Amino acid sequence: MLVIVAPGQGAQSPGFLEPWLEDPVFASRLHWLSAVAGLDLAHYGTKADADTIRDTAIAQPLLVASSLLAALAVFPHPADAFTKMGAAAGHSVGEIAAAAGTGVITAEQAMVLVRERGKAMAEAAAQTATSMTAVLGGDRDEVLAKIAEHGLTAANDNGPGQIVAAGTVEELAAFAADPPAKARLVPLSVAGAFHTKHMEPAVRTLSDYSAAISTHDPRSRLISNRDGQIVHDGQEVLRRLVQQVNAPVRWDLCMQTMADLQVTGILEMPPAGTLTGIAKRALKGVETFALKTPDQLDDARAFVDKHGSPSEIDASPTWRLLVAPMKGTFSRVAQTQRESGDTVEAGEVVAIVKSLRDELEVRAPHGGIVVEWLVEEGDPVSPGQPLVRLHPSVGS
């Protein structure tokens, strides 16, 4: 199985788009996304220095645009992606690119959303002097306890041996003077405490903008930063994109879902390297491909062909599917036991998926009429596996 991932803020480097802009098609598409974002992304991706592209309001649109356009370069016919991509995920702001790549929102909606996200987060960061520090190594429980002791937030949990602490510069200074045992601290060159309570003003701003965005359900599995769950309701994806601004990124749980899916290959969009580097440490035996320059495109397509398989999720608009949010055991809700021909109300719980860690309800976000159950009571299910097919009822 192939998973395509998009990196988050901090992955950018000066001039990383220069070789890509030698392709006139890429350059034309970037010019269009620049117009949507109101930023000269070609300049920022080729000529601007590290300090300039560190600015949150610039870095975030630049990252989302580069991931989206590189994906189009890999899949010149965009629909071909759904015959190869088993799942998609994005780290922090990269999740906006993943949402667009799976068809939840358009590229233009993604660029407007990320433009306002970057501006709002930059404004929130300017209210208090905050930053982030990577904690490498150490005992996980001790690291988390020490982060909490100093009033910080574990803003990114990137898997074994890499947690990012975030908070005020004073809190981070105290943390540096009293670090966890056997851990190495690396201050990050970022302009704020992202994914913490300090970003709450940005959440309020984005909530207003998101009310105007129409969505579609993902055409492939979309792995959520919040908890590693598969989300197959477009409006829920959008809600999570907004809420994620001040909530921790659980990339460790995203990788656990990839493992549950039995992923064999991970392709990272440019500026690539960060997420494939993490995967090499955490997902032993999984092949990775960091797409950095256009001269790698033929090899990237060969990598896609090697690991790709069609999405199990039916893209037909005639039907609605409810899918498993995680790996576990399926059971139907005893109180209702909806059968073929029965009506399911919007918001109704129709099934439960149980794992050793969690028990999650599967709700029908839109309602409809049960056409067929696709799994049996007690069946093991994988993340994103279709459970039941619904036909939309009138008005749903």
Catalytic residue among 34, 66, 92, 131: 92
Quote the tokens at residue 6. Answer: 């998009």
Distance, in Å, from the CA atom of 146 to the CA atom of 167, rounded to the nearest integer, reads: 13
Catalytic residue among 91, 150, 195, 198: 195
Q: Are 320 and 388 in contact (CB under 8 A)?
A: no
Compute φ and ψ for 96, nearest 5 degrees: -65, -40
- Name residue 184's beta-bridge partners: 136
DSSP states of 209-249: HHTT------SSEEB-TTTS-B---HHHHHHHHHHGGGS-E
H/E element, 320: strand 320-323
Q: Which residues neighbour 130 within 8 Å (Cβ) at sequence distance 6 or greater?
A: 166, 167, 168, 169, 192, 193, 196, 198
Has 366 been annotated as catalytic?
no
Has 195 been annotated as catalytic?
yes
Length of the chain: 396
Distance, in Å, from the CA atom of 268 to the CA atom of 28, rounded to the nearest integer, reads: 23
Classify residue 134 as exposed, middle or buried by CB count within 10 Å of its CB (0-12, 13-18, 19+).
middle
DSSP-derived pairing of the beta strands 183-187 and 162-168: unpaired
Q: Which residues are catalytic?
A: 92, 195
